[in-house]
Amino acid sequence: MNPTLNPNVSLIGVPMDLGADRRGVDMGPSAIRYAGIEARLEALGYVVHDEGDIIVQRPKQQATPGTHLKYLDEIARVNQELCEAVSFQMGKGRFPLVIGGDHSIAIGTIAGVLQHRPNTGVIWFDAHGDMNTADTSPSGNIHGMSLAVSLGYGHERLTEIGGIDQKLMPENVVLIGARALDPGEKRFIQERGIKVFTMHEIDRLGMARVMEEALQIVTARTDGVHLSLDLDGLDPHDCPGVGTPVIGGINYRESHLAMEILAEAGVLTSAEFVEVNPILDRMNQTARVAVGLMGSVFGEKLL
């Protein structure tokens, strides 16, 4: 066990697929549990409290093509409930570990964290920026808007979750692994000065230096660090079971090194792992990788 991390972990599942508008990722929490997350953390000395899954209602009708905010009502409701659940568990002195589900659930996770750590820093591992709004999104899928919402930009039904005044600060956020950014996201990043390590920087600098620089940024003015890890940040060769794979991603060892460095820093106060889609996977490979990465970030060592 990492002695700097909270030994009491609350596991919260969110079987959400509405943000991606693609079936399968709603089974992600089950796949991660089946891959042995609870036993993995208990073997490291943690006390794991599995709080079960937040209920997600599937609308009877599909979203209308061209909709700018697909399934807004249910996504807002689920994220409000998730915000309250995360805040409640942190109020009990536990480390919230949220498993998804698509990346729209980061809206609720981060909103809940900010109730207790209003100056949270965020390391966001992702092939995508997730910084679209309804005006810039090519798809209308809210899982591509979650970081923008957490920064205070987007539809009021989403930005009001957790309170409009309790949002991330751009200077406290680092995106790692980006290789598929929409034009609107590029403008958003440049206008707000958000630090992004694309695959180009990872290739040139190496993951160790990227993580060192990222940690300097997310710990400089903050009262804790949240990890939001989308499994599509990794290369599809290692994680085939994701809904929006992009070739040329972070490899298996680079991702573990990143988690090991984050564990050694001892600054993590909350985390979420998202976008595991068992339907698109091979023998639960992506969920097993997710559990392995959780092991590393919670202090598991090779020797």
**Residues designated as active site:** 103, 126, 128, 130, 143, 230, 232, 275
**H-type helices in the chain, by residue range?**
28-34, 37-43, 72-91, 106-114, 146-150, 156-159, 183-192, 199-205, 207-220, 252-265, 285-297
CA dihedral for 106, 110, 113, 115, sign (positive or negative): negative
Task: Kindly give, in sequence order, each residue whose CB lies less than 8 Å from that of residue 281, ignoring residues fewer than 6 positions away.
Answer: 31, 240, 241, 287
- Residue (of 254, 40, 3, 167) closest to 11 by Cα position: 40
Strands 173-178 and 195-198: parallel
Which positions make up the binding site for Mn(2+)?
Answer: 103, 126, 128, 130, 230, 232
Which positions make up the binding site?
Answer: 103, 126, 128, 130, 230, 232
